[in-house]
A and B are shown apart, each in its own frame.
Chain A
């Protein structure tokens, strides 16, 4: 790969993934959690594309398209659930969902 080496891309992908995972675990707002999930999947996409470029084949490109489509479906379900939560309590605060015992 000309220019940016593979390891930099992997650092970027891991950082995106890690920020997303941290967001999913720590944030309370359901919408922010959804965005964090998207961030994780995009981190994965960056990793896929970096590896594909480094290897010079296009196998992972198909994977990336599928991941994008699935991520869209996932967001649709997640937003529906967030709306259902909003109808019950007037907010989308996930801490309410944690009142169930661990």
Chain B
């Protein structure tokens, strides 16, 4: 019963999909009032979001019993689930009047949207890598179909198929990485894998190769999902070809879910202290992806002349800043940087608003939105232009809006993680933001300062005279997005606090359950003779040795690693007398698996 209660948000989201499917069947085939399906979807997803933020943050107090080890619910999951569900609700509202305009069947569309949000919830809340894969597939399969839902358009079909092929590739990579992690640790849940890797990290040979290969495979897969640079090439095409409400959902919800899982997966699984000695540490890989992503995203964004493509490259560039945030963990706690959830919130609000405006302008079956079509927008539709202004400036990171607070907090947290060496990367990120200003301001230049060219006949729509779609639900959605961008910029305090508590729960500690369940068994004398206290010291020595050997090549990184390991070693030493809260030696989990309540398998 407890489990059912805790699963309520997921069940409500799935139930919304089933309800919408039934309502679609009950209403007539060509019922003109099918717009209410979108409103029902949005209402269901909003209820699920409210349930998620009320039920889940306090969840560790009453834990899952039957689903323990399948789903985790905590503040982190609550934050990202609410974000995903809100984006799904916004996309449903945007679609209400967009779909008839484009000739898309609303029933199937809204059903798939609700199911996709359900999958995203399972993806974010998964404690188990197979559940994670299942959630990913439920989310993605629905989005492939949504992207291709405009069956009259070859362009949309191609977008859907392209997304399908590359998404399928990414899923296979994820799964292959999961198989290797299973091979390395014999466990499929996050905590078990983390504990297994931490225990085996000091050993040599094959035990170190498997997690290394898994790391590469997982990063490739998650890179595809969040559109990080070597794996970004599908993004502009798919964002451009898909119906604009779907684009808003992909850029908002799918990316937010991807980042939630990326940070939880990488930070939880690869938290072993001695990873610094490997050829490719998770930190290096994330940093490389981050820098490449922001530079390439911004540079290619400059040369685009379609608003949807510009926003697609902007979403790639934002993934770069976010990866930088995920990379810069707090060295003392190894927790997720507390600027990341807030940044995602601000980014999603602004992106959904901007794509919402584009979707309202996409009348007459047109899915592309070349810049000249925006000309004179401020005179024809002053309110839409104002929403676009707020959202685009927020994406650019201009002060009174949420994007600025997001960037400021993110970069501040990156600097705080390591003031000496991270300053380079913060400077790179700030320079990138300056480059990005060019294409953001270009959108506003067309919307506010260009007059539409005077043309006649069929080119009227192309020249920017097409009227915007009239749609109360969509106006509500973009209004909320714009107000959220303002709210996050002016009064960020509350959401910053929520972001901080979400970030602090991001990393699943492998030893937490053992420490809570059986503190007596963890007393120093009784624990197993496994070389638990020694391993950090050994790894520290190894790291220092590495630092000496590689000093010329990469001194700063190794210094940082050595410093981290120092801190870790100090931590485990001071834990012994019992002055700190108990942080048991990790391998004890394996020393006596049948006795402890911690390891169920």
Contacts and interface: CB of A to CB of B under 8 A. Distances in A.
Interface residues of B, number: 39
A94 B161 contact: yes
B179 A51 contact: yes
Interface string B159-199: 11110110011011001101110110011100000000000
B179 A48 contact: yes
A13 B155 CA distance: 36
A87 to B, nearest CB: 8
- Is chain B's interface secondary structure helix, strand, loop, or mixed overall? helix
Contact of A21 (B137, B158, B169): B169
B239 to A, nearest CB: 11
Contacts of B233: 102
A21 to B, nearest CB: 7
B9 interface: no
A30 B158 contact: no
Nearest to B152: A88
Interface string B125-137: 0000010011001
A101 to B, nearest CB: 7
A60 B141 CA distance: 23
Contact of A100 (B141, B162, B179): B162
A12 interface: no
Interface string B73-115: 0000000000000000000000000000000000000000000
Given A44-B179, A74-B137, A84 B168 contact: no
B158 to A, nearest CB: 4
B240 interface: yes
Given A40-B169, A77-B144, A102-B237, A55 B186 contact: yes
Contacts of B236: 101-102
B175 A67 contact: yes
A68 B183 CA distance: 19
B165 A24 contact: yes
Contacts of A54: 183
Nearest to B149: A84
B158 A66 contact: no
Given A100-B241, A101-B237, A81 B169 contact: no
A48 B161 contact: no
B172 A40 contact: yes
A89 B180 CA distance: 41
A30 B161 contact: yes
A97 B157 CA distance: 9
B542 to A, nearest CB: 26
Contacts of B179: 13, 44, 47-48, 51, 60
Nearest to A75: B168
A59 B188 contact: yes
B64 interface: no
A28 B81 CA distance: 38
B141 A74 contact: yes
A40 B137 CA distance: 15
A97 B158 contact: yes
Contact of B161 (A10, A20, A82): A82
B145 interface: yes
Contacts of A67: 133, 175
A68 to B, nearest CB: 12
B133 A66 contact: yes
B172 A17 contact: yes
Interface string A18-47: 001100110000100100010011011001
A72 B522 CA distance: 46
Interface in A68-83: 70, 73-74, 77-78, 80-82
A70 to B, nearest CB: 5
A17 B233 CA distance: 22
Contacts of A70: 133-134, 137
Interface string B228-262: 00000100110011000000000000000000000
B601 interface: yes
B40 interface: no
Residue in B158, B171, B188 with the greatest tally of chain A CB atoms within 10 Å? B158
B148 interface: yes
Given A44-B175, A48-B182, A74-B141, A60 B158 contact: no
Contacts of A17: 172, 176
Contact of B172 (A44, A51, A85): A44
Contacts of B187: 59
B186 A100 contact: no
A97 to B, nearest CB: 4
Nearest to B151: A84
Contacts of A30: 161
B165 A60 contact: no
Nearest to A42: B172
B154 interface: yes
Given A37-B168, A73-B141, A77-B141, A51 B183 contact: yes
B161 A81 contact: yes
A82 B241 CA distance: 16
B175 A41 contact: yes
Contact of B176 (A43, A77, A81): A43
A62 interface: yes
Contacts of B137: 70, 73-74
7 contacts: A55-B183, A57-B601, A67-B133, A70-B137, A81-B160, A84-B157, A84-B160
Those 8 A-B pairs whose CB atoms lie nearest each other, nearest first: A51-B183, A40-B172, A88-B154, A97-B158, A47-B179, A100-B237, A37-B168, A44-B175
